[in-house]
Amino acid sequence: MEIYHPAEMLSRDEIAALQCQRLRETVRQARNSRFYRQRLDDAGVSPESIQSLDDLARIPPTAKQDLRDSYPDGMVAVPQERLVRLHASSGTTGAATVIYHTREDIRTWAELMARCMFMAGVRPWDVFQNTSGYGLFTGGLGIHYGAEALGCLTIPSGPGNTRRQLKLIRDFGVTVLHIIPSYALYLGDALAAEGLDPAALSPRIALIGAEPHSEEVRRRIESLLGLKAYNSYGLSEMNGPGVAFECQCQDGMHLWEDAFIAEILDPETGQPVPEGEVGELVMTCLTRTGMPILRYKTRDLTRFVPGLCACGRPHRRIDRIKGRADDMLIIKGVNIYPMQVEQALMALPEVGQNYQIILTHDGRMDQLTVQVELREDFFQEDMRALTGLQKKIAGILRDEILVTPRVELVQANTLPRTEGKAVRVLDKRGDA
């Protein structure tokens, strides 16, 4: 097995010892910020009080609202002259949050990202096309710096403009793409519309992330684009991309435990869930100096994948993100995650690449409608056949989510589409 960095093969005991040492150093560094000095003093936590990883639980969790309340620089732990980069979240679920980096932080981030890419099979001789957005969003620059650190010829194409994306792929023999899942499906449809054979194009690897997606979507992407697609996980508060990545076994995402401590806790009680069960991912960064964050409640739902990966890397794996704790829908008293709907739909050969979940209220109770695009070869004028398919899909969804939705079948390419992140849920319950 080839590795990019010796830290990939640290033993479990070595990982634990390094985490404890770095946690102590991170607590010391975090106390340089106004926010953590007060927070840690109130909890009676000092660097000297961290004697083992069990002491992590003595540190109060950090929530998204804490970052908002500390805006713009209440969590900064170094003098401003040491800061070289600022990133901010999109603020789509509230006020934006800001993350600062020192030069050392950027270098460490690039190394972690290069390590991820190498693990997925990317090599210095690859030509890498980054279709992610640049700017305050971390996805573009984060993976860009990693690709350059690895030695790839890097094309910062940015999002959208599908014709240009395809031209760059063909003209420069692109072998690796960074692409969000919904745009990968969009690109696959564009290939088909132009009569292009994916096998005739050069990309062999797609690095996908930024959106929760099911295994069924991953397999569709691989089929549509004729490549292998590797899942990834990152969040701005822990740098961005480069936190966890699949190896070539595609069996969970290795989380770099020399740089992060991951906990999976019950979202309600804050206590660890049993091994292998789903809970909220809580993250502590161990190598960031500009703005270290302790026990950050990501709201992302996942689990630790039990056992050692077949690739031999001892770093623990997290499963693909099931959704967010705050994405849960409650319909007729039943808890539903949009990912459950996608998983059921994408397993059906009749279903196309796009769907939408619509929530309404009829005056008595909430209603769930799922609009589903059909593939062109399955959409026919025979109403009896369409009604039968509609009932079939409704039944499959009922078995998965325990609620019978209204199912509306539509022709391919008729639902709203975007070259950016897909909007899968429309909540119209507050509409007049």
pLDDT tens for 344-355 read 898 888 898 889
The CATH number assigned to the domain holding 394 equals 3.30.300.30
Is 192 inside a domain boundary? yes
The mean pLDDT value of the chain amounts to: 91
Question: DSSP label at 81?
Answer: G
Residues 362 and 410 in one domain: yes
State yes or no: pLDDT of 92 exceeds 70.
no
Instruction: Calculate mean pLDDT across residues 370-379.
Output: 84
Residues 15 and 152 in one domain: yes
Q: Which amino acid is at 363?
A: G
Residues 313 and 354 in one domain: no
Is 350 inside a domain boundary? yes
The per-residue pLDDT for 315 is 98
The per-residue pLDDT for 285 is 97
Q: What's the structural domain count of the chain?
A: 2
State yes or no: pLDDT of 10 exceeds 70.
yes
Cis amide linkage into residue 349, ω under 30° from 0:
no
Instruction: Calculate mean pLDDT across residues 69-86.
Output: 96
Within 79-194, residue ranges assigned H as helices are 103-119, 138-150, 162-172, 181-193
Residues 251 and 143 in one domain: yes
State yes or no: pLDDT of 126 exceeds 50.
yes
Confidence of residue 114 (pLDDT cuts 50, 70, 90): very high
The per-residue pLDDT for 252 is 97
Residues 70 and 119 in one domain: yes
Confidence of residue 381 (pLDDT cuts 50, 70, 90): low
Instruction: Calculate mean pLDDT across residues 52-61.
Output: 97
189/3 Cα distance (integer angstroms): 35
C-alpha distances in Å from residue 415, one per residue of 282, 393, 422, 423: 36, 18, 11, 11
State yes or no: pLDDT of 363 exceeds 90.
no
Instruction: Calculate mean pLDDT across residues 240-249.
Output: 96
State yes or no: pLDDT of 325 exceeds 80.
no
Asked if 316 and 308 count as a contact pair (C-beta separation under 8 A), the reply is no
State yes or no: pLDDT of 311 exceeds 50.
yes
At which of 285, 308, 327 does a domain end? Answer: 327
Within 293-370, residue ranges assigned H as helices are 338-346
The per-residue pLDDT for 254 is 98
Residues 335 and 350 in one domain: yes
Residues 337 and 366 in one domain: yes
With tokens 């957005």, the residue in question is 133
The per-residue pLDDT for 56 is 98
Confidence of residue 415 (pLDDT cuts 50, 70, 90): confident
Instruction: Calculate mean pLDDT across residues 203-219.
Output: 91
- Backbone φ and ψ for 375, nearest 5 degrees, come out as -65, 150
State yes or no: pLDDT of 318 exceeds 50.
yes
Domain that residue 380 falls in:
328-427
State yes or no: pLDDT of 380 exceeds 80.
no
At which of 292, 327, 362 does a domain end? Answer: 327
The CATH number assigned to the domain holding 193 equals 3.40.50.12780
Residues 155 and 257 in one domain: yes
Is 75 inside a domain boundary? yes
State yes or no: pLDDT of 189 exceeds 50.
yes
Comparing 362 with 321, the larger pLDDT belongs to 321
pLDDT in tens, 251-286: 999 999 999 999 999 998 999 999 999 999 999 999
**Closest-CA residue to 86 (of 99, 104, 70, 72):** 99
pTM: 0.85
Among 33-47, 186-200, 356-370, the least confident range = 356-370
Q: What percent of the chain has pLDDT over 90?
A: 67
State yes or no: pLDDT of 241 exceeds 80.
yes
Asked if 378 and 350 count as a contact pair (C-beta separation under 8 A), the reply is yes
Residues 192 and 270 in one domain: yes
Residues 133 and 261 in one domain: yes
Is 300 inside a domain boundary? yes
Is 432 inside a domain boundary? no
Residues 318 and 351 in one domain: no
Asked if 142 and 174 count as a contact pair (C-beta separation under 8 A), the reply is no
Confidence of residue 9 (pLDDT cuts 50, 70, 90): very high
pLDDT in tens, 282-309: 999 999 999 999 999 999 999 999 999 9
Instruction: Calculate mean pLDDT across residues 146-163.
Output: 95
Residues 387 and 298 in one domain: no
